[in-house]
Structure 1
Amino acid sequence: MIEAWIAAQRIPNGKQFQFGLAKLVEPDGQAALSISGQLVGTLGYMAPEQARSGKNVDERADVYSLGAVLYQMLTGHRHFPSGDNLLEDIQRLQEWTPAQLRDLNKQIDPDLEIIALKALRAEPAERYRSVAALREDLLRYQRGEIISAKPVTPREVITKWLKRNRAIATVGAIALLLLFASGAVFTWFNYIQRVRAQTARRQAEELVGFMVTDLRGKLDAIGRLSLLRDVNTQVDQYFRAVHPAESGFNGKRLRAIALQNEGDLLGSQGNLPDSIARYRETLRLIRELKQERPKETAVQHDEWAVIGKLSSTEQTAGNLESALDSAQAALNVSRELASRTSQPEYHRDYAISYNKVGLLEDRRGNRIAAQEAYRSGLDEITKLLEQNPADRKLNRDAMIAHLRLGELALGGGELDVAREELEIATGQARQLAALDATDAVTQRDLSVAIIKLADVAVQEQRFDDARPLYVEALRIREKLVAQDPENTDALRDLSVPYEKIGLLEAAREDMPAALPPFERSAEIAERLAAKDPANAEWQRDLTVTLEQIAQVTEAVGDFRGAIANFEKSMAIGTKLAAGDPENASAQQDLSLTYKELGECLGNAGDRDRAIEFLTKAETRHGELARRDPTNQTLQVELAQIRESLAAFRN
């Protein structure tokens, strides 16, 4: 077994494993050798006894091969350097001791080094007795427990307990190796009687369960969801190899979770259509399971969770109507769950569903419906907090509800209500952030609440009160980026306070002071857009910052610079709209860019081109308004476009 065969999994019809010497374990415990007396395999991944072509080769040879793969995954080097003389290499291999892994990579955990070196012992008796034993030790390491490969001291027990779940650096390599190791076990057991095959399948599904739940949660927590790509491939191939009738209820549920993880990964990469497709496939599987066990609350909760993710992705893709339909479906599922049980988590889900519906109603311009949904969600959370006032999740939910109500009031010009709600939200956010200064989620929440409170101050023209708040939020987000420089979400968040400071200075009509923060925001947007040109959200961010710079330069009389930036934004927006014709938000953004460019051209004296682009905006916005006649935001924007067009025509 070599790394090339593992990598071949990226080929649609590739095999997961090849075995130089395959053995069939008979019911009497004897081993039948497929090929004897010949050297079959790749020396760098072959156990010494296998290289001798002897008959005493058993499962411990696979342990050695897996150890070789783990060694190379962790160090980037093969454990055994082959030469030009095969016979000499075979002889050297018999007593070969690999270099210490930590000599090649100081970041490797000592326990992981011990596991790899135990698997690579020259004498079979000194290795793990089986692939399953190796797998168990890797799982112990993954869980932060004491491994079997070395003596245990009381001090070590305490240290391990304190460090549990903190060793994340090599989690992707371990996860993949565990799956490969389990694959070897399944290959062996498939040759024996059906009872043993069923046992192997249970072991496989236990491991798959770890892959799609525990591992996924740990990777998501550190912003490394991309490591799931290979794991998802392996899990998908496992389920494709298992007959649906044999996988059972739990196996089908694990496959649904794996598909949902794939949807999460695709969404994080900006591939929204495929992400939506995976979520819909997941939903189909879950509803099949729901028919099998209609009273199974766990399956109903799975249904709620995936509908929620589908709604969020549809929203990001600009399909607000579909997103709202999905959010209301999730609300119905959570309402049924809450009515059947008194468990607080299901009532919390019910409140979260209300907040999601409120957010989408707000985006569609339906402020009254949004306010009703937010209030209903807050009422549910308040009831739960009466039972458990110290619960951090519930306190965060309450903070978010007040934040949403404040945003809604701000958008409707109800500044007194907005200030009251946002002061409550900011106070709650400060309390939560003070509990753990290293918690990125609560720190980010605090920065969001502070920014919204500053937005109210700007609307009230209290600029001197607003600026320190924006700067405070900026400092929080700078720290978050410094803590995790590779986290693109944190970097994207950093652009927001820069943008807000620019808008504040523009509101003060200090355009020279507005330009630098807008340019800093644009630098971040350009970095992200260049990092992943296929990510539509990041490309849209860039169009927004370009238009802000254009508006400032237009305000100081630099029409040439303003037109150039509007045209850059239009070029990106045109690609986004053409790439996803059904994305109403992308079409709306492009239409508004036409409007801004048209007005700029008109102010610069180019009346004909102004009318040309304003006419394009009217046509596109008119079509959007006809498709979604209840969207009040579209109706207001269309009226503004027509007003500008009439002004330049006259």
Structure 2
Amino acid sequence: MSEDATAQKQDSPDSDIEIRAEPDGASSPPRKRTVFASILIELREASPLNKILIALSVAGFVLGTVGWNVLSGLNDEPSTSDVMELNQKVADKEAELDALRHRELLDELARQKGVKPEHLLPLFQAAERELPREGFEQAIGDAVEALLAKANERVPDFKDDAVIEDVLRQAREKLKTLDTEGAIALLEGRLRESDEARQAERLGEARVARELAEIAADAFQWNKAAAAYEKAGSLNSADVWAWFKAGDIHKLRGDLSSALTAYETGRYFAESLGKERDRSVGYIRIGDVEMARGALDAARAAYSASLEIRQTLAGRDPSNTQWQRELSISHTRIGDVEVARGALDVALAAYSAGLEIRQTLAVRDPSNAEWQRDLAISHNRIGDVEMARGALNAALAAYSASLEIAQTLGGRDPSNTRWQRDLSVSHTSIGDVEMTRGALGAALAAYSASLEITQTLAGRDPSNTQWQRDLSVIQTRIGDVEMARGALGAALAAYSASLEIVRALASRDPSNTQWQRDLSISHIRIGDVEVARGALDAALAAYSAGLEIAQALAGRDPSNTQWQRDLSISQDQIGNVEVARGALDAALTAYSASLEIRQTLAGRDPSNAEWQRDLIVSNVKLASVGNKPAQRYEAALAIARDLLETNRLAPRDAWMVEDLERRLGEERAGETR
């Protein structure tokens, strides 16, 4: 406001006091005192009795602080702090007056109702906190009448037990004397006792449910076991592992949806209770389900969450062997995802990190069977990566190290089904190397050893889906050996046995992508036999069934390299049948579709020897149907020579370089004629 600002006038019904705004530092002309305005406003809002008391109580303050200045006509206006102090004095006096009036009212009600004043005191204190000043007396009176009416009500007959009825009657007796605090304390105490009793009862029921679950699981009554574990978890939220065990049963039986729900529930309770280790376990199990469903991104996210927690725990206490072991598990799971994605270098790094931890633990205590088993698993995983890279010697060394441990553990306790399964897996892996090297006798021996163990396990519990799948896998491997030996009847028998198992599994849970993939592979293998037998229509039907599944899986997740490769194989097989039927155009379409997929995969990871070999095959097949033969053979030969020079060409494929050189030479010779 400028220095020559005009005066502002504020009208009040109680005063004609003028208030003039002045700039900082300006002198104030004579004026009437604004402090009186504040006093009069307070008086205006008060009741008649309060007006008298307020006026009397503040008179001394006014005269003592600003009154003399006003009476003497001095120009100094009271400060803001003076006015605030005056307002506070007024409020304090009002509070003193209210307290006096409320005490008189309390004593009067106590005399009227014949009760102790101290019983009414909590009621008045609560009302003073919660109710406005206006209507206070009426509200207190109404409350007293309502409480007395409640006290004289007959206790309803709700078929309550005697203890409950007795508590209610005692509370009503206290209300008759308006002892509200006593009545409330009595009822709250009973509720606490009831809550404690209910909690104890729930915990007792949870223990019963746990016992039932464990017995039912040991008796192979999986449905009862899963339901009982879930009941135990719902009754006792602290029992996070009850949910995990329920999920394990659902997963074992192939119900991935129910398994995921159980694992998510367990992880949620673990998080809410601050149980970090259990939360990491929940993430691992969730990742396992996502892997089985083929959701690689979701699996990777879950495993990474687990890894982050476990790195923190393991870093917090490096001497805690359990946390170290679990950290190695998270590394291994991440490696599994990367293998499925075709990122072999990343997978190998993850597996190696897990192996390093496990070697340290195994050296610390060679008698610890669990740590020895973990070490065997790490060797096996690294062998898988080396196989995919075409490093057969490195793969065999890793598989052999795993087999040695598995044989030791399996021999220690033949009744331990987990160790027996590990032994069968190691035999299968050794067989895979021998098959790739072309040593059919050694491969068949290894596969047969695995089959014997797997048949025993699968026969022990036909409802165990993992063991049933293992049986189907080893049947397929044996069929591969028989095909390579030319024993078509034996091959068809093995493939058919595998198909029967995976068809049953896939129908049980169509969302299980692993089982769907197994079914696709079985169809393709049977198609191979039918081609060899010359039954082209039967072969085409089998290949088409496999192709349909492969297309569905590949379309679900284009980043899953395993599914993409499966699709390329199915396209190849369809092309083979079309060639045999003389439909070269149809064959060219199928082979071209296969090549497109394989070029993408090989470009993603040139170190993957298997994918490089697939490129050789696709180029040769396209050349065989007249598609740029010289160019195709030349491309195939370049890849084969590179694999040979880098020691990644499998011994069974050693003939490829010479054969491709011959084909390319013949083609070029034909072009010059």
Scaled to the shorter chain, the TM-score interval is: 0.5 to 0.7
Paired position in structure 2 for 1:333: 357
Report the CA distance between 1:370 and its aligned residue.
2.2
- In structure 2, what is the equivalent of residue 222 of structure 1? 253
1:68-110: CA deviations, max 9, x gaps? xxxxxxxxxxxxxxxxxxxxxxxxxxxxxxxxxxxxxxxxxxx
How far apart are 1:412 and its partner, in Å?
0.8
Among 415, 418, 421, which residue is 1:396 paired with? 421
CA contact (8 A) 2:292 2:513 kept: no
Partner of 1:98: none
Contact 1:506 1:514 in 2 (8 A): yes
| 1:428 match: secondary structure | helix
Contact kept? 2:417, 2:457, Cα under 8 Å: yes
- How far apart are residue 346 of structure 1 and its match? 1.9
Question: Aligned AA for 1:301?
Answer: R
| One-letter identity of the residue aligned with 2:376 | A
Deviations 1:574-595 (A, max 9, x none): 7x659xx745589974x66665
Q: 1:611 Cα shift? A: 5.5
Q: Is the 8 A contact 1:262 1:275 kept in 2?
A: yes
Q: Which deviates further from its counterpart, 218-227 or 231-240?
A: 231-240
Could you say which residue in structure 2 is the equivalent of 1:113? Answer: none
Distance apart, 1:409 and its partner CA:
1.2
Alignment partner of 1:356 is 2:381 = yes
Superimposed CA distance per residue, residues 105-150 of structure 1 (whole angstroms, 9 cap, x where no aligned partner)? xxxxxxxxxxxxxxxxxxx99x98899689869956974759xxxx
Within the candidate set 294, 305, 310, 2:334 is matched to 310
Spell out, residue by residue over 1:151-180, the C-alpha distance to the aligned partner (whole angstroms, 9 max, x if none).
xxxxxx9999979752488899989x95xx
* 1:442 matched residue in structure 2: 467
Equivalent in 309, 317, 336 of residue 285 of structure 1: 309
Q: Report the counterpart of residue 288 of structure 2 in structure 1.
A: 264
The question of whether the paired residues in 2 share the 8 Å contact of 1:144 and 1:164 is answered with no
Distance 1:427 1:417 in 2: 16
- C-alpha distance 571-142 of structure 1, shift in aligned 2 (>3 A): farther
Q: Deviation per CA, 1:36-61, whole angstroms, max 9, x where unpaired? A: 9xxxxxxxxxxxxxxxxxxx9xxxxx
Cα distance 1:434–1:331, how it changes in 2: closer, same or farther (>3 A)? same
3-state SS, counterpart of residue 522 of structure 2: helix
Question: Any idea what the Cα deviations from partners look like across 1:270-317, whole Å, max 9, x if unmatched?
Answer: 443564455345334323322222222211220221122122221111
With over 3 angstroms needed to count, the CA separation of the structure-2 counterparts of 1:168 and 1:551, relative to structure 1, is farther
Q: How is 1:175-324 mapped onto 2 (pairs within 5 angstroms)?
A: 206=238, 208=240, 210-211=242-243, 213-226=244-257, 247=274, 251-273=275-297, 275-276=299-300, 278-324=302-348
Q: Does 1:602 align with 2:623?
A: yes
Note closer, same or farther for the CA distance 1:564–1:140 as it changes in structure 2 (3 Å cut): farther
1:537–1:470: structure 2 CA closer, same or farther, 3 Å change rule?
same
2:614 equivalent to 1:557: no
C-alpha deviation, 1:236, in angstroms: 7.7
Distance verdict in 2 for CA 1:220–1:501, change over 3 Å: same
Q: CA deviation at 1:597?
A: 5.2
8 Å Cα contact 1:533/1:539 also seen in 2: yes
C-alpha distance in structure 2 between counterparts of 1:595 and 1:366, whole Å: 18
CA contact (8 A) 2:458 2:468 kept: yes
SS at match of 1:166: helix
1:517 match = 542
Task: Give me the identity figure in percent.
Answer: 26
The one-letter code of the counterpart of 1:214 is K
Q: How many angstroms apart in 2 are the aligned matches of 1:320 and 1:614?
A: 28
Alpha-carbon distance in structure 1 between the residues aligned to 2:304 and 2:220: 39
> Does the 8 Å contact 2:399/2:426 carry over to 1?
yes
Provide structure 1 residue ranges, at least 5 long, that are not aligned to the other structure: 1-31, 37-55, 57-123, 147-156, 182-202
Residues 237/485 of structure 1: CA separation in 2 closer, same or farther (3 Å cut): closer
AA aligned to 1:473 is S
Aligned pairs for 1:147-166 (under 5 A) are: 166=223
Q: Does 1:369 align with 2:394?
A: yes
- SS of 2:486's equivalent in the other structure is coil
Distance 1:274 1:615, change over 3 A: farther
What does residue 427 of structure 1 align with? 452
- Displacement after TM superposition at 1:599 (Å): 3.8
Shift of 1:605: 3.4
Output the CA distance in 1 between the equivalents of 2:227 and 2:209. Answer: 9
Deviations 1:180-214 (A, max 9, x none): x9xxxxxxxxxxxxxxxxxxxxx87x355555x33
Question: What secondary structure sits across from 1:547 in the alignment?
Answer: helix
- Bigger radius of gyration: 2
Give the deviation of 1:519 after TM superposition.
Answer: 2.2
Shift of 1:493: 1.6
* SS at structure 1 position matched to 2:319: coil
Distance 2:541 2:286 in 1: 40
SS of the aligned residue for 2:438 comes to: coil
* Alpha-carbon separation, structure 2, partners of 1:263 and 1:451: 27
Q: Is the 8 A contact 2:376 2:406 kept in 1?
A: yes
Asked if structure 1 preserves the Cα contact closer than 8 Å seen for 2:251 and 2:259, the reply is no
> How many Å separate the matches in 1 of 2:399 and 2:387?
10
1:433 & 1:241 partners in 2: Cα distance? 39
Q: Tell me, in whole angstroms, the C-alpha distance in 2 between the residues paired with 1:159 and 1:381.
A: 29
Superposition pairs of residues 557-576 of structure 1, within 5 angstroms: 557-570=582-595
Q: Which piece of structure 1 moves more, 158-167 or 592-601?
A: 158-167
What secondary structure, in the 3-state scheme, does the structure 1 residue paired with 2:374 have? Answer: helix
Contact 1:588-1:624 at 8 Å conserved across structures: no
SS of alignment partner, residue 421 of structure 1: helix
Of Structure 1 and Structure 2, the greater helix share is in 2
Paired position in structure 2 for 1:96: none
Query: How do residues 411-422 of structure 1 correspond to structure 2 at under 5 angstroms?
Result: 411-422=436-447
Letter in 2 for 1:282: S
CA distance in 2, matches of 1:557, 1:295: 69
SS in 1 for 2:223: coil
Between the aligned partners of 1:483 and 1:233, the Cα distance in structure 2 is 22
Q: Once the two structures are superposed, what CA deviation does each residue of 1:317-336 show, in whole Å capped at 9, x if it has no partner?
A: 11223323333332332222
Give the residue type in structure 1 aligned to 2:623.
G
Matched to 2:252, the amino acid is A
Query: For 1:419 and 1:405, how far apart are their aligned partners in 2?
Result: 10
Q: TM-score, normalised by structure 1?
A: 0.61
How far 1:408 moved relative to its partner?
A: 1.6
Separation of aligned partners in 1, 2:504 and 2:268: 41
- Provide structure 2 residue ranges, at least 5 long, that are not aligned to the other structure: 1-125, 131-149, 151-190
Q: Is residue 2:409 matched to residue 1:387?
A: no
Q: Tell me the residue number matched to 1:470.
A: 495
> Is structure 2 residue 410 aligned with structure 1 residue 410?
no
Which residue pairs with 2:7 in the alignment?
none
Mark the CA change 1:220 to 1:641 in structure 2 (over 3 Å): closer, same or farther.
farther
- Give the TM-score normalised by the residue count of structure 2: 0.59
Q: 1:315 is aligned with what amino acid?
A: V
Number of residue pairs aligned between Structure 1 and Structure 2 = 479
CA distance in 1, matches of 2:519, 2:484: 22
Distance 1:166 1:597, change over 3 A: closer
Find the counterpart in structure 2 of residue 76 from structure 1. none
Contact 2:270 2:278 in 1 (8 A): no
Retained in 2: the 8 A contact 1:128–1:134? no
